[in-house]
Amino acid sequence: MSAALSGAVDLSALKARAEANRNQPQAPPAPAAGGEAGASGPPSDAVLEVTEATFQADVVERSLNQLVVVDLWAEWCGPCKQLSPVLERLAGEAGGAWVLAKVDVDANPRIAQLFGAQSIPTIVAIAGGQPVDAFSGALPEPEIRKWLGSLLDALRDRLPGIRAAEEARGPVEEPEDPRFTEAEEAFERGDYAAAQAAYERILDAEPANELAKNALAQVKFTARAESIDPSARAKAEADPKDLDAQLAAADLDIAEQDVEGAFRRLIDVVRRTAGDDRNRVREHLVALFELFDPADERVAKARRDLASALF
- From residue 30, alpha-carbon distances to 24, 27, 35, 61, 87 in Å are 17, 8, 10, 22, 17
Q: How many CA atoms within 13 Å lie on the side-chain side of 47?
A: 21
What is the spatial distance between Cα 33 and Cα 176, in angstroms, rounded to a whole number? 33
77 a catalytic residue = yes
Q: Could you give the CA distance from residue 3 to residue 66 in angstroms, rounded to a whole number?
A: 24
Active-site residue identified among 33, 77, 103, 215: 77
The count of other CB atoms within 10 Å of the CB of residue 211 is: 12
Residue among 26, 129, 110, 17 nearest 72 (CA): 110
Rounded alpha-carbon distances, angstroms, from residue 228 to 59, 225, 282, 292 = 65, 5, 20, 21
Rounded CA separation 53/114 (Å): 14
Q: Tell how strand 47-49 and strand 67-73 pair up.
A: unpaired
Q: Is 103 a catalytic residue?
A: no
Q: E strands within 43-121? A: 47-49, 67-73, 98-104
Q: Give the active site residue among 11, 80, 94, 134.
A: 80
Active site residues: 77, 80
